[in-house]
Amino acid sequence: MSANIRFLLNGLEEVSVSGPADQTVLQWLRLNRRLTGTKEGCAEGDCGACTIAIAHTREDTRQTVREDVLVWAPANACIMLMGQLHGRLLVTVEGVADGQALHPVQSAMVTQHASQCGYCTPGFVMSLFAGFRSAQTGATDAIHDMIAGNLCRCTGYRPIVAAAREALGPLRDDRFSAMAADIAARLRSIEAQGALSSATPDSKFSAPRTRADLASALTRDPSARILAGGTDLGLDVTKRRQRQPSLISINAVRELQQIEKRDGALVIGAAVTYARALTRLAALDASIGVLLRRLGSAQIRALGTMGGNLANASPIGDTPPILMALGASVIVGSVKGEREIALDAFFTGYRRTALETGEFIDRVIIPLPGADDFVRVDKISRRFDQDISAVCGAIAFQRNGERIASPRIAFGGMAATPARARRAEQALDGAPLTQATFEAAAEALAGDFAPIDDFRASAAYRMRAAQNLFRRWFLIATGALLEAAE
Amino acid sequence: MSDRRDIVGKPLAHDSARQHVTGAATYLDDMPEPGGCLHAALVKSPHAHARIVGIDASAALAAEGVVAFVTAEDIPGDNEVGPIFHGEPALAGEVADYVGCPVGAVIATSHDAAKRAADLVKIEWRDLPAILSIKAAIAAENWTSPPQRLVYGDPDDALANAQHILHGGLDIGGQDHFYLETNIAMATPLDGDQWHVWSSTQHPTEVQKHVALVLGVPQAAVTAEVRRMGGGFGGKESQPTIIACIAAICARKTRRPVKLRLDRDDDMIVTGKRHDFRADWDVGFDEHGAMTGLRVRLAARGGNVADLTSSVVTRAICHVTNCYYVPNVEATGICCKTNTVSNTAFRGFGGPQGMLVGEAIIDQIARHLALDRDDVRRANYYSPSRGLTTPYEQPVSDMIAYELMDKLNADADIAARRAQIATFNASHDTRKRGLATAPVMFGISFNMPSLNQGGALVHVYTDGSIQANHGGTEMGQGLYTKVAQVVAETFGVPASFVTPTSTRTDKVPNTSATAASSGSDLNGAAARNAALAIRARMAHVAANEWNVPEEAIDFRDGKITSGNYVISFGELATLCWLKRVSLSAAGFYSTPKIHWDQKRLKGHPFYYFAYGAAASEVEIDLLSGETRCLRTDIINDCGDSLNPALDMGQIEGGFVQGMGWLTMEELWWDTAGRLRTHAPSTYKIPGSRDAPADFRVHILENAPNREDTIFRSKAVGEPPLMLAISVWLAIRDAIAAVSGDDRALALHAPATPERVLMSVG
């Protein structure tokens, strides 16, 4: 067992710390280590000024593009807690250059005039560095995906995208290329010392390794909060200044990291990050891939988990509508064993779920749609990238000849919880696949939901945009609307 | 000035670029803190308008790490931060007049401890009636400063006899600056009741002045300093003074250094933004769309205090006719006093709102007459035949807007693309495209003539290194780099010889804000004057040494030559020292030709105009209202650019910021006057995918400023922001393609997906 949080910093320096469970990586970097290149811009994971790179050892070497034995990702230091670093490599903007020689990402940023005030720049450097280490290409869409979690108010982005294109071309080495194997070995030796269980007089942070240990830890400490990706819990720390006396991380639990196809369903462990789930879910329908690429940012997707997105029960979570439309259920575990809850019965009220004390989400079961089924999810937000939905709507149905069978429709942003649109479903069920049917469903939707006015959208807009999704879905289902950009 | 340009005009990298990318560039919160430094957190009003009945800070004072609590009563001097008018407190004493209004500060050993303890301060309030909107303020005739009125020609007569007359109105949203570095200051007591204040400010002199005022000490006892800001955009013109003053009050109370850093939410809630406006007009015009008369009322939401609102409104009035001659104008400007945060300077300073109204009027005329918008513009441009006098009676002598627009129409292939768009729109049911151009004519100089002065202090050291200091501040725009180029050019040395140093009120006193796009005009010229003074002395020494005339001395490539004589710059500096010749000089510059009568709104407020033209093509989704900018072409007038790479950055960045203002950025207040979009999770500024997918920006070549500015350059900080009006007009065009002209004209700003969807449904 490891009583201290142990990780590598900017190379082979091993750091061992114990501190409050709710200390953020950003606080530690800036205040404890005086590494001030990493900035606070918003303390909510939305601006990217605090972006760091993290790496862990690669288990599945089949996906290796580089010589690399490490998996790299960007992350928001502002909402990441120190315990989440355990067993990982942390790289900050101070650690990417090789002595006086700038990293290719850094020199491209200089030559392209990609910094003005410079405050966001370290974050961009780190997002691009993580992309560089992950052997990302310099394709324009990939670059936008890489930096969608970084805001710049000065440049208008054109020179930053140009710098990314310059730096991310052919695979090149940097100071981590030669070090990767040593880093991986050191990380494994940290792992070999057992699960993290760190305590200070005021707080506890533990990261059990097995499902059984997780269940018993939750039973021993029923007041503990489960930490998954922390992309929501982190806001309680930074925005609401809530103390976190006891946190139990699910990230080290192997069983919760699995993704597999079993019995006609895709089964995704609760601790699987969006980043890992993305390709598997995108395979069900391209629109799910688009949705997930718009969920948060690369930084958020690297930490945020499938289980976390369900457990926080936000009315505007991005994954619940499509999971509901696909008929997903969750398996929840506890010392008493497992039980299955249909996702549309899981959300019991505003930010409330059917989870009982001592229970945790173990995995999500997503029945695979048939080859001929229609599946589609659409997110509508003010900004394309890294925004919270005004409305998110999803639909799945089978085609029974010219008729619609077993429709499932769910919306986020329309009620206090993500919810099925039962009246709209009735309007589709058994009806012919015609414009009139979808118009009737759109009309029926008005009876399903009474959305609210708020800063994301008015009730009227929400309803109209949601009703228009039926029009869009009809066009897509009949092949009349090609979504490809022209 | 010399025609030869070795350093000036070159695309040198920003002087801090390397520090930026390595994380080595220090912002105020990154600097080592002085021993014993404490941290303050604001205690704010939760009410839009309420009287303080009692404050109980006992729980806060008992909390871990807390050292002290201050209120207005702890201010030894005047509780005054108003930049123009008086009566603007640093800390509200008896009455808080907006949600977020600072009423006190908790001082603790850490930022975290201070923030936690600030939540524990209990205040008993008595609610007062609140005025939250422009409409309510107008109804109550509640102003932050008196209405302003400009009259040119005979607008009553012109409107009475107009061939066509139209009425119109436009709501224009505000905008948060969203500089990435939030407001921050650190005040340190020095020996003998002297004070040092680090402040992330565009206006160190104002920080100095008001810190002196609140502490009750002479200005000479206070030094304000800033090395760089993480963005400013006008949001750090007057607002940092409030933050610095509160930090100073805390430092005075504890006799220890105190740092006050606002987190993002506090920054957005507590400090001012771009003014939202309501405009209403009557416009008269002929069958070609040529305006004959205009009556316009521009009402700005000023917020709780006057701050800079009166000047913002003046600039809005000065820009409402953009680059068009209108023979008869009545323009009224209203500064609405509301119980919301005091709005403030923001890139363009009222110009964007005024110009948007002007372009909305052109759009309205064009749609009414079913004419091409560019044809209506041609009927209205300032020209010798139509008129070359602005409504504020400044002669227009450098008008090039129509040349830029003609060039843009040709270069960007506008006619052919309009045809393509018509084809696209005819064949697409759920998406429509629009393409629009927009010209910009922006007056350069502060409206208030007294502000148009700059100072510099240049030192040459005996190794030939040069320290260049000036009153301007660095917020990312590259001012330090441009001034270094000017100084290097003057001495004929590589730019690397010049070290820019932090802006301090003890090096250059009585400065103006780095604002109004004036940074390089004022400070570049002042630094040039300082450098010229030193160069003349150095030339004199060399001429004596070599016994040649001073005119025969050439400074170039780090060497001083005359005929066969040659000496390095450093050797000559040493020689000057040996000869007991001063190698230091202060430089000064004041803008010529300008004058202004603020009562009548008449005069010659601008030294010159900066121009630009843009064309943007957008696509809107008729089912969701979402928009994308597919392509933007820009031609921008930078005069003879001091540094085309930096100027390009200002153009692109300003344009995208303007796009944000006019499309996705929305400040949303609830009915209690609380701003509910106070962080990036809810307030959306453009991301990388929102910039035009195809972005073609050109700096107009061979276009030296006709006025004798520093190396014939032109200011570039603000004008490009207004080029984004082309995006807003293009969205209107796309709406018109499906819903007709009336619905297009009903589109206000910002054109959010919601507004667009409601326009096409």
- DSSP, residue by residue, A59-83: S-GGG--SS--EEEEEEETTT-BGG
Q: Does A481 touch chain B (CB under 8 A)?
A: yes
CATH topology of domain B17-24+453-590: Aldehyde Oxidoreductase; domain 4 (3.30.365)
Question: Nearest Cα to B517, choosing from B558, B552, B472, B562?
Answer: B472
Tokens found for residue B432: 């429509």
Integer CA distances (angstroms), A222 to A204, A249, A310, A347, B520, in order = 13, 14, 20, 21, 63
- Domain locations in chain B? 17-24+453-590, 33-129+177-270, 132-171+275-391, 396-443+606-761
SS3 breakdown of chain B: % helix, strand, coil, rounded to 5? 35, 25, 40
Q: What is the CATH number of the domain that holds A198?
A: 3.30.43.10
B1, pLDDT greater than 60:
no
Q: How far apart are the first and last CA of chain B?
A: 60
Instruction: Check whether residue A41 and residue A119 sit in a common domain.
Output: yes
pLDDT bin (cut points 50, 70, 90) of residue A67 is low
Instruction: Check whether residue A396 and residue A464 sit in a common domain.
Output: yes
Integer CA distances (angstroms), B185 to A34, B31, B111, B247, B547, in order = 19, 11, 13, 6, 54
The 10s digit of each residue's pLDDT in B122-170 is 999 999 999 999 999 999 999 999 999 999 999 999 999 999 999 999 9
pLDDT of residue A485: 37
Residue B386: CB atoms within 10 A of its CB come to 15
Cα–Cα–Cα angle for B153, B159, B160, rounded to 5 degrees? 115
Cβ <8 Å between A156 and B645: no
The 10s digit of each residue's pLDDT in B502-516 is 999 999 999 999 999
Tokens found for residue A371: 């080859």
CA B243 to CA B236: how far, in whole Å? 10
Residue B686 exposed, middle or buried by CB count within 10 Å (0-12, 13-18, 19+): buried
Interface test with A, best of B10, B110, B180 (most A CBs within 10 A): B180
User: Cα dihedral sign for B654, B660, B663, B668?
Assistant: negative
Nearest CA in chain A to B24: A37
In this complex, how many residue pairs, one in chain A and one in chain B, have their CB atoms less than 8 Å apart?
249
Neighbouring-strand partners of residue B332:
B149, B297
Nearest CA in chain B to A111: B13
Instruction: Check whether residue A400 and residue A438 sit in a common domain.
Output: yes
A328 in helix, strand or coil? coil
**What does R_g of chain B's alpha carbons equal in angstroms?**
27
User: Cα dihedral sign for B111, B117, B119, B123?
Assistant: negative
pLDDT of residue A60: 61
pLDDT of residue A183: 96
pLDDT of residue A62: 53
CA B673 to CA B740: how far, in whole Å? 36
Nearest to B664 among A92, A97, A382 (CB): A382
Q: Is residue A485 a part of any domain in this protein?
A: no
Tokens found for residue A121: 């720049």
Residues of B225-253 as b/e, b for ≥16 C-beta within 10 angstroms?
bbbbbbbbbbbbbbbbbbbbbbbbbbbbb
Nearest to A385 among B229, B625, B687 (CB): B687
Integer CA distances (angstroms), A260 to A266, A270, B283, in order = 6, 12, 68
Interface test with A, best of B27, B179, B684, B688 (most A CBs within 10 A): B688
Cβ atoms of A304 and A229 closer than 8 Å:
yes
What is the identity of the amino acid at B629? C
A61/chain B closest Cα distance in angstroms? 32
Cβ <8 Å between B681 and A44: yes
Return the HEC string of A426-468.
Answer: HHHCCCECCHHHHHHHHHHHHHHCCCCCCCCCCHHHHHHHHHH
In total, how many domains does chain A have? 4
The 10s digit of each residue's pLDDT in B574-625 is 999 999 999 999 999 999 999 999 999 999 999 999 999 999 999 999 999 9
pLDDT of residue A482: 65
Q: Does A239 touch chain B (CB under 8 A)?
A: yes
Q: Is residue A448 a part of any domain in this protein?
A: yes
- 8-state DSSP, B551: G
Q: Which helix (H) or strand (E) holds B630?
A: strand B627-636
B295, pLDDT greater than 50:
yes
Catalytic hit among B225, B359, B489, B718: B718
Cβ <8 Å between A155 and B27: no
Helices (DSSP H) in B561-629: which residue ranges? 569-578
Q: Is residue A486 a part of any domain in this protein?
A: no
Boundaries of domain holding A354: 254-367
Residue B320 exposed, middle or buried by CB count within 10 Å (0-12, 13-18, 19+): buried
Residue A486 exposed, middle or buried by CB count within 10 Å (0-12, 13-18, 19+): exposed
Per the annotation, the verdict on B718 as an active-site residue is yes
Q: Is residue A3 a part of any domain in this protein?
A: no
Region B277-287: mean pLDDT is 98
Cβ <8 Å between A156 and B687: no
B83 in helix, strand or coil? coil
B22/chain A closest Cα distance in angstroms? 6
Cβ <8 Å between B180 and A152: yes
Instruction: Check whether residue A17 and residue A164 sit in a common domain.
Output: yes
Instruction: Establish whether domains B33-129+177-270 and B132-171+275-391 are of one fold.
Output: yes
- 8-state DSSP, B232: -
Q: Is residue A317 a part of any domain in this protein?
A: yes
Instruction: Check whether residue A324 and residue A396 sit in a common domain.
Output: no
Question: Which residues on chain B are in Cβ contact (under 8 Å) with A481?
Answer: 430
Cβ atoms of B10 and B485 closer than 8 Å:
yes
pLDDT of residue A480: 85
Query: What top-level class would CATH report for the domain B33-129+177-270?
Result: alpha beta
The 10s digit of each residue's pLDDT in A243-287 is 999 999 999 999 999 999 999 999 999 999 999 999 999 999 999
Instruction: Check whether residue A347 and residue A418 sit in a common domain.
Output: no
What angle, rounded to 10 degrees, do the helices at B204-215 and B239-254 form? 40
Question: Which residues on chain A are in Cβ contact (under 8 Å) with B228?
Answer: 117-118
Question: Which residues on chain B are in Cβ contact (under 8 Å) with A241?
Answer: 115-116, 119
Q: Is residue A2 a part of any domain in this protein?
A: no
Which residues 390-449 on chain A approach chain B with CB closer than 8 angstroms? 390
Q: Does A471 touch chain B (CB under 8 A)?
A: yes
B715, pLDDT greater than 80:
yes
Instruction: Check whether residue A242 and residue A281 sit in a common domain.
Output: no
Query: What top-level class would CATH report for the domain B132-171+275-391?
Result: alpha beta
Cβ <8 Å between A156 and B653: yes
CA B568 to CA B564: how far, in whole Å? 13
Q: What is the CATH number of the domain that holds A25?
A: 3.10.20.30
B540/chain A closest Cα distance in angstroms? 39
Question: Which residues on chain B are in Cβ contact (under 8 Å) with A115?
Answer: 14, 16-17, 20-21, 476
What is the identity of the amino acid at B206? E
CA A264 to CA B680: how far, in whole Å? 41
pLDDT bin (cut points 50, 70, 90) of residue A483 is low
Strand ranges across the sheet with B95-96: B95-96, B50-56, B122-127
B3, pLDDT greater than 80:
no
What angle, rounded to 10 degrees, do the helices at B525-546 and B479-491 form? 20
Q: Is residue A5 a part of any domain in this protein?
A: no
Listed residues A335, A367, A399: the one ending a domain:
A367
Length of chain A: 486
What is the identity of the amino acid at B45? S
Q: What percent of chain B has pLDDT over 90?
A: 99
Integer CA distances (angstroms), A168 to A97, A109, A140, A175, B690, in order = 16, 12, 11, 16, 21
User: Residues 6 or more apart from B66 whose CB is under 8 A from it?
Assistant: B60, B106, B107, B108, B113, B114, B117
Residue B347 exposed, middle or buried by CB count within 10 Å (0-12, 13-18, 19+): buried
Listed residues A367, A390, A413: the one ending a domain:
A367
Tokens found for residue B25: 């560039």
Q: What percent of chain A has pLDDT over 70?
A: 97
B337 in helix, strand or coil? strand
Nearest to A125 among B21, B264, B682 (CB): B21
The 10s digit of each residue's pLDDT in A198-246 is 999 999 999 999 999 999 999 999 999 999 999 999 999 999 999 999 9
Question: Which residues on chain B are in Cβ contact (under 8 Å) with A455?
Answer: 666, 668, 676-677, 682
Question: Nearest Cα to B417, choosing from B183, B194, B619, B180?
Answer: B619
Q: Does A466 touch chain B (CB under 8 A)?
A: no
Cβ <8 Å between B23 and A36: yes
Tokens found for residue B381: 């441009």
CA B476 to CA B504: how far, in whole Å? 17
Q: What is the CATH number of the domain that holds A344?
A: 3.30.465.10
| Ramachandran bin of A441, using left for φ above 0, alpha for ψ from -120 to 50, beta for the remaining angles | alpha
CA A303 to CA B292: how far, in whole Å? 62
User: Residues 6 or more apart from A371 whose CB is under 8 A from it?
Assistant: none
Return the HEC string of A359-379.
Answer: CEEEEEEEECCCCCCEEEEEE
Nearest CA in chain A to B17: A110
B384 in helix, strand or coil? coil
Nearest to A382 among B181, B653, B752 (CB): B752
CATH topology of domain B396-443+606-761: Aldehyde Oxidoreductase; domain 4 (3.30.365)
Instruction: Check whether residue A303 and residue A352 sit in a common domain.
Output: yes
Q: Does A119 touch chain B (CB under 8 A)?
A: yes
Region B483-497: mean pLDDT is 98
Cβ <8 Å between B22 and A458: no
Instruction: Check whether residue A224 and residue A353 sit in a common domain.
Output: no
pLDDT of residue A58: 83
Question: Which residues on chain A are in Cβ contact (under 8 Å) with B233?
Answer: 153
A358/chain B closest Cα distance in angstroms? 30
Residue B739 exposed, middle or buried by CB count within 10 Å (0-12, 13-18, 19+): middle
The 10s digit of each residue's pLDDT in A382-392 is 999 999 999 99
Residue B49: CB atoms within 10 A of its CB come to 23
CA B461 to CA A202: how far, in whole Å? 57
Listed residues A319, A340, A367: the one ending a domain:
A367
The 10s digit of each residue's pLDDT in A316-351 is 999 999 999 999 999 999 999 999 999 999 999 999
pLDDT of residue B480: 98
Q: Does A113 touch chain B (CB under 8 A)?
A: yes
* Pairing of β A352-353 and β A360-367: unpaired
Instruction: Check whether residue A258 and residue A286 sit in a common domain.
Output: yes
pLDDT bin (cut points 50, 70, 90) of residue A65 is low
Instruction: Check whether residue A205 and residue A285 sit in a common domain.
Output: no
Return the HEC string of B305-318.
Answer: CCCCHHHHHHHHHH
B171 in helix, strand or coil? strand
Residue B502: CB atoms within 10 A of its CB come to 15
Region B630-655: mean pLDDT is 98
Place of tokens 């991301």: B687
User: Residues 6 or more apart from B460 whose CB is under 8 A from it?
Assistant: B466, B491, B534, B538, B573, B576, B583, B584
Q: Is residue A52 a part of any domain in this protein?
A: yes
Instruction: Check whether residue A61 and residue A164 sit in a common domain.
Output: yes
